[in-house]
Amino acid sequence: MRLILLGAPGAGKGTQAEYLSKRFSIPHISTGDILRENVKNETELGKKAKEYMDKGLLVPDEIVIEIVKDRLSKEDCKNGFLLDGFPRTIAQAEALDKVLQELGQKIDKVLNIEVPDEKILERMSGRRICKNCGASFHVIYRPPQKEGVCDVCGGELYQREDDKEETVKKRLEVYHAQTQPLIDYYKAKGLLVVAYGQEEIADTTKEVLKALGIE
């Protein structure tokens, strides 16, 4: 099973990726993670990427693609993989097609987890984190017993910058602008399947398996 996973921030992609990775015994490959790993291990590609990351710049496509190619050629990807966070653009998608061709592989399905923006906004802007122990709460779905106070350690709860409503709206705008062309690209290739994110994780998993044709 060779999968690409798409989904807006807050759509529950990470949780489903973890499940699919275990269920099919395939590695969950997040480009962010492999970039950081290469930087940490000071590989040649990692050193190149670090120059850009240190300046707060996006790592150029050719470096990201080389890093992805290197990861996909590893032994544990022989029976499949799950790509998360890559490709982000049509140029990256086309480059990935070439890389897979060289490796004698091809993508089986591109899974898009769809959740309405207003639901994501509610999910993310309602999150509260404990400053002391890092426990997570939600003003609607998992409210603390006492407002602003952590049930676990009594620490102060706060809202992270990237969970603030304006930030979430901006992130969603960027995501849609970036991802719509990709959705169209894979739809045209007949690879796109859609799972509709539900309130409960287990219900989303059922939708995911149905979309992949696994009941």
Which residues are designated catalytic?
13, 88, 127, 160, 171
- CA distances in angstroms from 209 to 26, 58, 155, 182, 192, listed in the order given: 15, 34, 39, 22, 14
Is 81 labelled a binding residue?
no
Question: Is the CA virtual torsion 44, 48, 50, 51 positive or negative?
Answer: positive
Is 130 labelled a binding residue?
yes
Is 24 labelled a binding residue?
no
Residue 36: CB atoms within 10 Å: 15
Is 137 labelled a binding residue?
yes
- Could you tell me which residues come within 8 angstroms of residue 127 by beta carbon, excluding any fewer than 6 positions away? 136, 137, 138, 159, 160, 163
Is 86 labelled a binding residue?
yes
Is 128 labelled a binding residue?
no
Q: What's the start-to-end Cα distance of the chain, in Å? A: 15
Is 160 labelled a binding residue?
yes
Is 178 labelled a binding residue?
no
User: CA-to-CA distance for 132 and 144, rounded, in angstroms?
Assistant: 15
Radius of gyration (C-alpha) of the chain in whole angstroms: 19
Is 77 labelled a binding residue?
no
Is 73 labelled a binding residue?
no
Is 123 labelled a binding residue?
no
Is 153 labelled a binding residue?
yes
- Burial group, residue 37, by CB count within 10 angstroms (0-12, 13-18, 19+): middle
Which uninterrupted H or E stretch holds 158? Answer: strand 157-158
The secondary structure of the chain in percent helix, strand, coil, rounded to multiples of 5, reads 50, 15, 35
Residues marked as binding for AMP?
A: 31, 36, 57-59, 85-88, 92, 160, 171
Residues marked as binding for ATP?
A: 10-15, 127, 136-137, 199
Residues marked as binding?
A: 10-15, 31, 36, 57-59, 85-88, 92, 127, 130, 133, 136-137, 150, 153, 160, 171, 199
Residues marked as binding for Zn(2+)?
A: 130, 133, 150, 153
